[in-house]
Amino acid sequence: MRGWVRRGIEKGSLTTRFPGDKPETVSPWVSELARVAPGNADCPTDAITGDTVNRFRCISCGRCSPFFAPSGNLNLPDTKVKYALFKRSMKLYLIDTGSCGGCNSEVQQLWNPVYDLSRLGIFFTNTPRHADALLVVGVLTEGMEKPLLDAYNAIPEPKLVFAVGACAASGGILGRSISSLLECQIIVPGCPPDPFAIIDAIQKSRGVE
């Protein structure tokens, strides 16, 4: 017991100042991409048109190098609605419809002392009945269609659906997106999205800029 107390004191506070301050680090190839040289970039998901990168199709593979390079800026979410009702408290329910484990891992990292979502009044819940929003990760597999709809229907109104990561957002390179089954109000880019990008999207969905 004393050992844990000692460690806790020695480590001090690990918690990020984000969103009050800039993110300390952003996973380079998951950040916003910028053109740095002229030329035709080979994009396996056809996410590039001219100088523009469709961030929801981008799978962060880096194949567009050396024409594009990471800017280090967070990739911004697409937020179709904002529910100020969830400003003080928001409960999230995570569902994996066919991920590679990357998005699950990044969402789970949000509970750790570095990101500590609870400081922002954001919590994870173990049942959709208590949830305000559904966080969906992965491509949509056949077997997960019913569990996804069941979870969605169990969430009381008003509710939000987040498509977290390239697979859920656009199908990425592996399959189909969840938009073929459910309308998503918030789309978080990245493969997988940086934890800071997920926090940013959650904050924006409830009108916290």
Partner 1 sequence: MDSHILSAVVTLNGKKYCLHREDMGLKVCSISEIQSHENYQFLNGTFPDPAKGESVFNLTFGPVASGLFESIKFNIRTYGERILSVTPEWDFKKRKIKISSEPNDRALLKIERINALYSASYSSLYCHLIEKMAETDPSYDVQLARIIMIEAERIGSHILVIQRLAEAASQNVAKHHLSALRERLLRTIAVTFGHRYFFGMNAVGGLARSVELEKFRDEIAAIAREFSDIWELIKVSRIFIDRIIGVGKTYREWYVGPTLRASGGNFDSRASGWLPYSDFGFSVVSGGSGDSFARAMVRAEEIMESARIIDEIISSKRQIIKEQNISNTAASGYAFDGVESPGGELIMGIELNGGRVYQPFIRSSSWCNLPAFTEGIRGGILTDFSFGLESHGLFACEMGDLL
Which residues is 198 bridged to in the sheet? none
Least Å distance, CB 185 to partner 1, is: 20
Q: What count of other Cβ atoms lies within 10 Å of the Cβ of residue 95?
A: 22
Which residues is 137 bridged to in the sheet? 96, 164
Give CA separation, 198 vs 47, 129, 156, 173, in Å. 21, 22, 22, 21
Nearer to partner 1, 79 or 90 (CB): 90
Least Å distance, CB 84 to partner 1, is: 28
Nearer to partner 1, 70 or 189 (CB): 70
Nearer to partner 1, 53 or 144 (CB): 144
Nearer to partner 1, 115 or 162 (CB): 115
Nearer to partner 1, 154 or 208 (CB): 154
Give CA separation, 26 vs 35, 69, 176, in Å. 18, 14, 27
Least Å distance, CB 178 to partner 1, is: 13
Residues that bind partner 1 (CB under 8 A): 3-4, 7-8, 11, 14, 25, 27-30, 44, 59-63, 65, 70, 95-102, 104-106, 108-109, 111-115, 126-127, 138-139, 141, 143-144, 147, 151, 172-175, 191-192, 194
Least Å distance, CB 82 to partner 1, is: 27
Q: What is the DSSP letter of 34?
A: E
How much helix, strand and coil, in percent to the nearest 5, is found in the chain?
A: 30, 20, 50
